């Protein structure tokens, strides 16, 4: 059967009718059964239909106050713990800062600042010094050194053993004039080596007398017009120097071309009766193509206490300035015609 339209759905369906006579209304009241539409349904949130008694407002307020006080107390405790932890961390931070400041690594920045400051000071000082040096007038003071008696004795001994140089030929004028006059006579083809074997022309004798006695063995003389005549004059000078100094000097010939050096070697061999062994670094005559090598050789000779005699060929355009410092040098100055012929030949 379907429920009654006005019945509560929560009361459930009515019991089905059974066959037989229905009870009268009076009989239902006696048995205590209730009609479905008159029954009160129990509340939905209370099973069994038994309601709880409602809480009073005073009890609720007391409970809330106690909970709030408990929460506040707990928060205050946490706050105190956090403050204590923060204080400990700050103390640890201060201690670490002190340790870093006292440690060498912590002082690196301070050291770097000091170094930078010193660098700035040093740069400024150097700039001031450079400016002062530019403005200062530098004067080289003469250095006077008084030699000791031992040095004076050694100098005197060297002066005795050293050969006479420029300015000293005036004391040997008789020997020089006699040798030049002798060379002007008949040639001696069987003379000893390093003696002149050819006849010296009067012009060549006058040239050497001028060079020895007036120029002091240092200077240029006009060329004789050919290389053979210049070789003869140089050979006569070598013979005279040999009579004055013996083997304590070495002749250095400068000619810029191998062909010119060949002419000088052959001419000196013929005039002085020399052999090929007499030409070389350890012999009496050395031939050079470059002035630098000749100057270096002359310096070494002077260091050993020997005397270099430098002869410059007429084909050289100029005499190197360092050659002028040596005590004995003879340069032949070519004539314009000789220069032109040299250019055509070489």
Per-residue pLDDT at 3: 44
**Distance (Å, rounded) from C-alpha 104 to C-alpha 82?**
35
Phi, psi of 148 (to 5 degrees): -80, 165
Q: What is the layout of strands, in order, in the sheet containing 285-288?
A: 218-222, 328-333, 307-312, 249-254, 285-288
**Distance (Å, rounded) from C-alpha 315 to C-alpha 334?**
7
User: How many whole angstroms from its chain centre is CA 254?
Assistant: 41
**Residue 279 carries which DSSP code?**
B
Per-residue pLDDT at 14: 44
pLDDT band at 61 (very low <50, low <70, confident <90, very high): confident
- Does position 229 have pLDDT exceeding 50, yes or no? yes
259, 326: one domain: yes
Per-residue pLDDT at 337: 76
pLDDT band at 223 (very low <50, low <70, confident <90, very high): very high
**Distance (Å, rounded) from C-alpha 101 to C-alpha 147?**
64
Residues pairing with 95 in the sheet: none
Phi, psi of 286 (to 5 degrees): -125, 135
CB 228 within 8 A of CB 296: no
340, 266: one domain: yes
231, 339: one domain: yes
Is 45 within the bounds of a domain?
A: no
205, 339: one domain: yes
Among the residue ranges 48-52, 184-188, 216-220, 271-275, the one predicted with the least confidence is: 48-52
Is 41 within the bounds of a domain?
A: no
In CATH, what number is assigned to the domain containing residue 243?
Answer: 3.40.50
328, 233: one domain: yes
pLDDT band at 278 (very low <50, low <70, confident <90, very high): very high
Is 182 within the bounds of a domain?
A: yes
Per-residue pLDDT at 20: 43
Per-residue pLDDT at 26: 42
Among the residue ranges 65-74, 100-109, 142-151, the one predicted with the least confidence is: 142-151
Per-residue pLDDT at 118: 79
209, 319: one domain: yes
Average pLDDT over residues 226-231: 93
- Of residues 313 and 43, more confidence is placed in 313
258, 323: one domain: yes
Is 124 within the bounds of a domain?
A: no
Is 21 within the bounds of a domain?
A: no
- Residue 273: count other Cβ atoms within 10 Å of its Cβ: 20
Is 53 within the bounds of a domain?
A: no
80, 172: one domain: no
pTM equals 0.52
Which residues constitute the domain of residue 252? 165-345
- Does position 21 have pLDDT exceeding 50, yes or no? no
First-residue to last-residue Cα distance in the chain: 156
195, 339: one domain: yes
Condensed to tens digits (0 to 9), the pLDDT of residues 179-217 reads: 999 999 888 888 999 999 999 999 999 999 999 999 999
Average pLDDT over residues 1-25: 43
Say how many domains are in the chain.
Answer: 2
Is 242 within the bounds of a domain?
A: yes
3-state helix, strand, coil in the chain (%, to 5): 55, 10, 35
Is 239 within the bounds of a domain?
A: yes
Per-residue pLDDT at 162: 44
337, 252: one domain: yes
97, 191: one domain: no
74, 175: one domain: no
């Amino acid at each position: 059967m379907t429920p009654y339209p006005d019945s509560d759905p929560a009361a459930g369906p009515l019991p089905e009718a059974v066959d037989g006579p229905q009870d009268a209304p009076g009989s239902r009241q006696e048995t205590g059964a209730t009609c479905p539409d008159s029954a009160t349904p129990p509340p939905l949130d209370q099973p069994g239909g038994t309601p709880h008694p409602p809480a009073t407002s005073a009890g609720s307020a007391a409970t809330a106050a106690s909970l709030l006080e408990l929460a506040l107390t707990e928060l205050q405790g946490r706050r105190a713990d956090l403050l204590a932890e923060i204080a400990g961390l700050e103390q640890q931070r201060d201690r670490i800062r002190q340790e870093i400041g006292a440690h060498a690594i912590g002082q690196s920045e301070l050291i770097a600042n000091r170094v930078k400051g010193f660098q700035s000071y040093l740069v400024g000082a150097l700039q001031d010094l450079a400016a002062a040096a530019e403005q200062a007038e530098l004067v080289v003071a003469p250095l006077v050194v008084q030699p000791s008696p031992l040095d004076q004795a050694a100098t005197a001994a060297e002066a005795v053993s050293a050969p006479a140089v420029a300015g000293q030929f005036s004391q040997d004028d008789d020997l020089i004039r006699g040798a030049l006059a002798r060379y002007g006579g008949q040639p001696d083809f069987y003379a000893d080596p390093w003696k002149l074997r050819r006849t010296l022309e009067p012009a060549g004798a006058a040239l050497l007398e001028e060079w020895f006695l007036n120029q002091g063995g240092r200077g240029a003389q006009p060329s004789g017009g050919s290389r053979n005549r210049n070789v003869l004059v140089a050979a006569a000078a070598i013979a005279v120097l040999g009579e004055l100094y013996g083997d304590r000097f070495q002749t250095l010939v400068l000619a810029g071309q191998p062909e010119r050096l060949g002419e000088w070697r052959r001419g000196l061999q013929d005039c002085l009766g020399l052999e090929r062994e007499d030409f070389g670094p350890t012999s009496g005559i050395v031939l050079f193509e470059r002035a630098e090598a000749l100057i270096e050789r002359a310096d070494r000779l002077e260091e050993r206490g020997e005397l270099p005699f430098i002869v410059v060929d007429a084909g050289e355009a100029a005499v190197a300035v360092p050659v002028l410092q040596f005590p004995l040098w003879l340069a032949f100055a070519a004539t314009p015609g000789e220069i032109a012929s040299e250019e055509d030949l070489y």
